[in-house]
Structure 1
Amino acid sequence: MCRWCFVLIFSLLASFAYAQHTQDGIVYENKTHVALPNISILNLNGKYRATTDKQGRFSITAKVNDLLVFSGFGYAPDTVVVIDLKVREIFMDPIQHMLNEVKINGAGTVNPSIMQKQKDPQYHNQTMNYQRDVDRPGASGAIKGGVNLRIWSNKKTENDAKKKEQQDKNDKITAEIQQAFSKESIEKYVPLKDQELHSFVMRYSPDIETFTSEEFNLAAYISKCYKEFIKLSPEERVKTSIFN
């Protein structure tokens, strides 16, 4: 009877010891730093199992010196020794792109920020995308070597893109100016009608630089312009352009 009590107590203590410890981390594809979902993790010592989530994260019951086996479709399995219970980054090599088999021990802590895609400064900072095995039936999607680049990219392309971006920004600001300085808006501030109102709008609509300056105030600007406008002769007030 005492023997069975001893076995039961030992089992409970072992279970309690494992229950107090977990190994947490994230599994990435080596080199690309892409998080890997659905990677299986097996603790060989305690026979505990876990699977990575959509962000590659995992948590498995473990203690120091346990052996964790990581495996997944299209990736070489890797065995990791638990040296401590700090959060770990685990890197796995695609099977079809292994030049040399490297033992990964999961050393290092997790960077909480999301990794951005790498850019190559020699190719005008284009995003580097590794070529994958996707162009045949039954393709695994694993890396097959090389990167995809837009070979015709050059400085002119970049400059044209910047000009297009600036033009779009200016068009948006111009639309805001037209709305703020429309006849319907201006007649709320000044006692002008018909041709004089039209002339005032045409003369004093602010340019982009004026409108976007930090000190610009629409009401103050209209008041200043109106004081100038009423000093004009009746003939000048109905002109739609200062060049007429």
Structure 2
Amino acid sequence: MRKLIIFLLLALPFGAFAQTVTTGTVFDFSKKTLSLPGVTIRNLNSKKTTTTNKEGRYTIGANVGDLIEFSAVGYHTDTLYLTNLLNRTIYLPVKTNNLKDVNISAVRMNSQITDAKDPLAEKYTLLSTGGNLNRKRMTDKVGGLNLNLGYGKYKRQQRKEADLEEKEMYMEEIDENFTAKAITDLTKLEGEELKNFMIIYRPSVEAVKGERPFRYSFYISRAFVAWKKLTPQERKLQDLPKLKADQ
């Protein structure tokens, strides 16, 4: 008995401080081998923050489904949606120069100059960070007078894709937990009543997202109480009106 108590006391600190983390390294997009120290990494779900070390490496507490933001002075901010906690390599593109403060007057240009391609301009494609989001390819040139005007649109598309993937994740969670077996075990509903109950009281993505972790058994029990208060007619799904045949 004494040995068991000593073992539990020794094991307790390790369990108490264990946490789930994700790791990786951040590099400059154009100079792939240039690691970036001092990049700020924020977990937008837990609000945890850290920075990359002198070798560009980071470790931050996270769970699958969290959104991780990477930001640094002079670089575009990027956001990563975690579908797993594997080690990642992140590439941040440098921000383009702002030409608002440049005043140009009495400039004479000819067709040979204006039709020439900027030798310093380079095309780049933002890499997929860890294979999580299907990033939109960018073909806007960086450098010269061709500014990267499509980045804002790309970011909006990126957020939209992250929202859709997040919604699909919650819908899969609902499918796995709000099942006919789970409902029957708690309520004894079967057949047509079970099918109608699942359609009427299926939890929404917003409800599941707003309460983490979502207690499905508790929700099913509360829904069943509400179900029993419905009239037999209210428990039936109303058929859609039939369309009249064309005369």
Q: If the length of structure 1 is used for normalisation, what is the TM-score?
A: 0.41
Q: If the length of structure 2 is used for normalisation, what is the TM-score?
A: 0.40
Q: In terms of Rg, which structure is larger? A: 1
